[in-house]
Amino acid sequence: MDKPGLTASLVAGGVAGVSVDLILFPLDTIKTRLQSPQGFNKAGGFRGIYAGVPSAAIGSFPNAAAFFLTYEYVKWFLHTDSASCFVPVKHMLAASAGEVVACLIRVPSEVVKQRAQVSASSRTFQIFSNILYEEGIQGLYRGYKSTVLREIPFSLIQFPLWEYLKALWSWRQDHVVDSWQSAVCGAFAGGFAAAVTTPLDVAKTRIMLAKAGSSTASGNVLSALHGVWQSQGLAGGWRADGRPACPGLHFHPLLLIN
């Protein structure tokens, strides 16, 4: 197995990330408002669904590139025979490492973006400045642990399933899958993984949106989930404000590429 090209991984992952994030941004805004503790309508409803898009646009390319680069490099580093039973483990470890690295870029962008999405009247730069003034750099990384705790189990489900579906499809048609076939496999894998990990995504959103100094802001994933379950019941982890919390939205740009 050849060592992956760094430039190709950076460019391919970055371009795919920007494209996916901008195309799906309105759905991401709706999901965030559904998961907001203030409720969908008070968080903005269907108004200003592109609020926070500058933060997403700025962070998307380096975030996706960092993940793509790390994922491909770790897969190369942990190279095993394609018939080995350790192949799924290799994909899990590579995806987990990619998420840990990418979250260093993703979380600050996500914090600013989500706060802008539920405060459509405030400008993205104003929100960024307020976070730095009131909470410092650590405010931009609020929810880092909860994001990693959400992304790792997501990737542990998504990427081995994606790779398995591609291998199965390739075997059935006797040649490597095309890009659209890879995307179909990725959509199924991503949707399934997102449905399973939606409660963790709800907890992450609550922590990022909580007011500074509140118990939620300083708490962990378990305390955030406990608050959701207390106010909305067990189903609150999959529903927000009485509506579905868009569990199938999360879709990693890597899944668009063979």
Does 230 fall in a domain?
A: yes
SS3 243: strand
Note the pLDDT of residue 238.
Answer: 60
Q: Record the pTM.
A: 0.78
Domain at 89, CATH number: 1.50.40.10
pLDDT value, residue 206: 86
- pLDDT at position 24, please? 85
Residue 1: inside a domain: no
Distances (CA, A) of 102 to 55, 108, 110: 15, 11, 12
Per the DSSP assignment, residues forming a β-bridge with 239 are: 244
- b (16+ CB within 10 A) / e for 38-64: eebeebbeeeebebbbbbbbbbbbbbb
Give Cβ neighbours of residue 85 (< 8 Å, ≥ 6 apart).
none
Determine the Cα–Cα distance for residues 1 and 89; give it in Å rounded to an integer.
17
- List the domain range (segments joined by +) for residue 145: 6-256
The pLDDT of residue 127 is 92
In a domain, 224, yes or no: yes
Give residue 210's pLDDT: 81
Residue 200 resides in a domain: yes
Low-confidence residues in the chain, pLDDT < 70: 1-6, 8-10, 13-14, 80-84, 217-219, 232-258
How many structural domains does the chain have? 1
Question: What's residue 243's pLDDT?
Answer: 45
| C-alpha separations of 223 from 125, 162, 195, 230, 245 in Å | 30, 32, 21, 10, 19
